[in-house]
Structure 1
């Protein structure tokens, strides 16, 4: 797997290569870029898909001592990754973990041409729901994270209410989850990185201030949200659609938070259409192309809220 040296340490990533539009696909806590395997396969090579393994517990190489692994720090590390790989006109796609939105609040999204938020943390929903709060509690208890991760080796625990059964509606990909959990389960340094992140969530006021500052991002934004999500409220999808000047919302049925697992074909189609409908402006162009005044559609064909600049 390719690696890149960043200020916090060595980051592994995958890159399909190719001349298509660049999609940078991000993952959540105790996961890695394999979250997106089925979606990338659906694209059939039409995009250059880059997937960094962020230091959120699913990474295999410990970060440097003293690295900034706070929520803000890992968001800025995402921007550093884009810069180090010299990626431009990126479509940045988030699922579950929402921290990279802070790049917008910090005015460091110059390499981002489009933003896609798919059922992810937003506003003050950090950590999200009961599963997120369990990680926060475990991080505060001596040996808590180690115990939590060991219990997640048991499939019955994964399927328990308020556990991973709230993130995936369909059958659990246990082999994939074994891979996700192994680094933090087996390596105390990786577990320490996860703990540093889990203890870093700032105050509700700070989170909401960051969200408010994101409205200055005027490029195209797609919010693709699972209508049955148990930890990322659908109300947040509508608030995000109203926040950004050029946003559209698509609601996805029959899925929980991990849409790339539950509905990879639908999500791949939605992403492909979004990129096709929002060409990047060329030098001298006045603005991104305007689209006809029509309601965005849900995946059932019913109109969904849309906010236009």
Structure 2
């Protein structure tokens, strides 16, 4: 992977990696990770695309200020970073919390979004691992300060990495957990993560959902990838995608956890290549977007509770003409403000 580059936006230093040439892929990592979560796929993707993989504010080598850590704030930051880098349009690829940012980016800036690839994303159901909920618990900061002391941290991360070599559902992603624990030795990183988590979940689970704006998902190609053994955000949320965006491409990888792009990098790269090659980039129409907003949702859509069946909005009315609707491969997720992990 190329050397990390830096650019200052709004007074805050942003770290990013840029590789390759061709159509632009913006790779957004998940909560408490950084651009290295894409290490297993970035070289292959750079053979066909210009790949931009930033460290989100509060993560990795980017600054960690007292700032706006909401989904909207991150989407604005990605728009401004791309503008500084001279990039107008992207296919945005978001993992976990980064998937929530990807959906928010597409919702706020549809004119700059050509496609979306969501990898184990938040915002499609309330369920999330209790370990993330604990970030907002009293005493979490003091506990993490203790667990990230040099000796304790070394024992903990070494144990996690050793356990990750055991091929089970429970241990598969523990190497990533070790990396997260390493990053939390920085008090500023812990501050950013805690504020981020408070913005998107509560004790009942995820509080931000794409369901209430799913009626807008008609104009942008969408692919969703999940790991069947995901213990962070369950793969059953993929069923909601099939309901909310029935023309989307949805693939669930077997023998894979919360990081399917790491568990099966060759398959993931092939999926992205085929998806981009076989779909037309979205073309934003303000008039069409206005019509959709005026029409609104055809039926009230609520955030599902744990254990509910997938959200099932009323069917859309028939499309009047070919001119008024895109080909079937151009399913959208322009509409989303989603969340987590």
TM class by shorter-chain length?
0.7 to 0.9
Q: Which residue of 2 aligns with 1:233?
A: 234
Q: What is the CA distance between 1:267 and its match in structure 2? A: 0.5
Higher relative CO (Cα under 8 Å, sequence separation at least 6) belongs to 2
Is the contact made by 2:114 and 2:281 (CA closer than 8 Å) also made in structure 1? yes
CA distance in 1, matches of 2:28, 2:131: 19
Is the contact made by 2:5 and 2:15 (CA closer than 8 Å) also made in structure 1? yes
Q: Which residue of 2 aligns with 1:41?
A: 43
Q: What is the CA distance between 1:137 and its match in structure 2? A: 2.9
Gaps of 5+ in 2: 286-321, 330-341
Q: What is the CA distance between 1:53 and its match in structure 2? A: 0.2
Distance 1:247 1:283, change over 3 A: closer
Distance 1:200 1:160, change over 3 A: farther
1:84 aligns to 2:84 (yes or no): yes
Question: More displaced, 32-41 or 79-88?
Answer: 79-88
Q: Which residue of 2 aligns with 1:64?
A: 65
Residue pairs, 1:134-153, within 5 angstroms? 134-137=134-137, 141-150=140-149, 153=154
Q: Answer with 1 or 2: which has the greater Rg.
A: 2
CA distance in 2, matches of 1:44, 1:195: 33
Q: Which residue of 2 aligns with 1:114?
A: 115
CA distance in 2, matches of 1:80, 1:181: 30
Structure 2-normalised TM-score? 0.69
- Superposed CA RMSD in Å reads 3.4
Q: What is the CA distance between 1:142 and its match in structure 2? A: 4.3
Count of residues paired in the alignment: 277
Q: What is the CA distance between 1:158 and its match in structure 2? A: 5.9
Q: Which residue of 1 aligns with 2:243?
A: 242
Q: What is the CA distance between 1:44 and its match in structure 2? A: 5.4
Is the contact made by 1:8 and 1:68 (CA closer than 8 Å) also made in structure 2? no
Q: Which residue of 2 aligns with 1:279?
A: 280
Is the contact made by 2:91 and 2:116 (CA closer than 8 Å) also made in structure 1? yes
Gaps of 5+ in 1: 292-309
Structure 1-normalised TM-score? 0.75
